Amino acid sequence: MPARIEAPVVAMDEPILRGGHILVVDADESLARTVSAVLRHEGYAVTTVFTLSEAVALLRDSSFDLLLAELRPEDGAGENTLAHLRSLAPAALVIVLARFATFESALRALRAGAYDYLLKPVDVDELRLTVARGLEHRRLERELAARVRDLEAAHASERTFTARLQQQVDEATAELQRQVAALDGANHQLHLAQEEHDRFVAMVAHEMRGPLNPIINFAQLAKRPGLPRESLEHYADIIVENAFRLNRLIDDLQTATRLSTGHFTLRRQQEDVALAVETVVDTFRATIHNRRVTLDRPAGPLFAEVDRDRVEQAVRNLIDNAAKYSAEDGAIEVSVWGDGTSAHVRVRDYGAGIPETEMARIFEAFTRLEKRTEVAGSGLGLYITRGIVEAHGGNLTVSNGSGTERARGAIFTITLPLAAPRDEAPSE
């Protein structure tokens, strides 16, 4: 017959240390001590208490792998106690110590969370086997939980790596798309530049033919023998006039090219802007007899740090533009004034004016709103004028005057920053 625990065990062999911390709870102190002694001999760490309150206090402060508890699963109180112990030590296995058991009471104990149960008096071999099996079950549960945690950690790491890889792929794809878009934009700009270049070459060729054809034609006429002196002088005047026109066109093309490539430079010094404008007006008065050019300027000087030649070129372009697009014998009004911080130059004509929708476009290179053959020009004047003014840190604006649709006129205004008054030279 197998040995049963009914009295204290007096002598045992040396224990073999095992893993596992066990709590023994039994009101029968003799049985509880004997069971504890058997388990300690098996190498387990064992704590023994004799009341449920002691067990509850221990479970609140310490952790256990297995509980051996005397309960009465045949009544409701035992099931409630078992549930309470399970709530205090959810990770521990519970083996019920019962004095007798029926199938229904055993089933209720297992449903309440017990791992197994042992009948009193406890069989030593069955105790050892049940406890060993329970702790092995507990160990396997822990290993499984640890492997599950490792697996979850590996999955989390994999998900993190996959997310990071996907982010890198997305970023690389977005960067590639940006580069493709930039390349498409660059190709588009290159295409536009090529079109602009072709248009520029065609425009230059067309504009140069304007003065070149009269030069060639009248030079050929001048070679005819027996021409009257008056005709020869007339042909020479036409050739010289168109030669100057060709020279101005070349200057305009050179200036426009420097503006577009960022190589435009100024030679600034302190100059009287009012005097510079007056010089341009006097030149037009001497050369244009079918327009009335008036000037309103301050009595004293209006100094600014400017490139005088370039300022005169800008004003000359505006007056020349006004002369081209205003009515014959019409007035061209030029005004110069200062406001303490800026010098202003306004040129007004009384022509048709400029459509509101075209006011921004007129400052583009080679833009001419009226393609009239009798109006000569390259379409570069306003483009160059704005470039000169902006290079000085100023601005060029345009508006229409009041009046009828065909006689309201255009108003161009140059604004340049003023310089400090020039110091007078000391008297000798």
Read out DSSP for 243-260? Answer: HHHHHHHHHHHHHHHHHH
Q: Residue 416 in contact with residue 385, Cβ under 8 Å?
A: no
Q: Residue 386 in contact with residue 396, Cβ under 8 Å?
A: yes
CB neighbour list of residue 203: distance below 8 Å, 6 or more residues apart: 366, 378, 379
**Does some domain include residue 146?**
no
The answer to whether residues 280 and 253 belong to one domain is: no
The answer to whether residues 113 and 234 belong to one domain is: no
Range of the domain at 384: 269-417
Interaxial angle between packed helices 76-88 and 52-61, expressed in degrees from 0 to 180 and rounded to the nearest 10: 20
Q: How far apart are CA 201 and CA 251, in angstroms?
A: 16
The answer to whether residues 70 and 106 belong to one domain is: yes
Query: CATH number, domain at 291?
Result: 3.30.565.10
**Does some domain include residue 302?**
yes
The answer to whether residues 273 and 257 belong to one domain is: no
Q: What integer pLDDT is reported at residue 278 of this predicted model?
A: 95
Q: Give percent helix, percent strand, percent coil of the chain, each to the nearest 5.
A: 55, 15, 30
Task: Provide the number of structural domains found in the chain.
Answer: 3
The answer to whether residues 291 and 389 belong to one domain is: yes
Distance from CA of residue 173 to its chain's centroid?
16
The answer to whether residues 233 and 276 belong to one domain is: no
Count CB atoms within 10 A of the CB of residue 347.
26
The answer to whether residues 44 and 23 belong to one domain is: yes
Q: 181-211: b or e for each residue (b if 16 or more CB lie within 10 Å)?
A: eeeeeeeeeeeeeeeeeeebeebeeebeebb
* Two tokens, residue 8: 């204290």
Contacts of 281-287 with CB under 8 Å at 24 or more apart are 281/319, 281/334, 283/316, 284/316, 284/319, 284/320, 284/323, 284/332
pTM attached to this predicted model: 0.50
The answer to whether residues 332 and 385 belong to one domain is: yes
Provide the residue-wise pLDDT of the chain in tens; the chain has 428 residues: 445 555 444 344 444 456 789 999 998 899 899 999 999 998 899 999 998 889 888 988 888 999 988 876 444 445 677 778 888 888 888 888 877 666 666 666 677 778 887 888 888 999 999 899 988 888 888 888 889 999 999 989 889 998 999 999 999 999 999 999 999 999 988 888 787 667 767 766 766 777 888 889 888 888 888 888 898 888 888 888 888 878 877 877 777 777 777 778 889 999 999 999 999 999 888 877 788 899 999 999 999 999 999 999 999 999 988 888 877 778 899 999 999 899 999 999 888 788 877 777 787 766 555 544 444 555 678 888 899 999 999 999 988 887 555 557 889 999 999 865 544 433 33
**Does some domain include residue 424?**
no
**Longest Cα pair distance anywhere in the chain, in angstroms?**
160
**Does some domain include residue 103?**
yes
The answer to whether residues 367 and 387 belong to one domain is: yes
The answer to whether residues 340 and 254 belong to one domain is: no
Query: CATH number, domain at 207?
Result: 1.10.287.130
Q: How far apart are CA 136 and CA 42, in angstroms?
A: 14
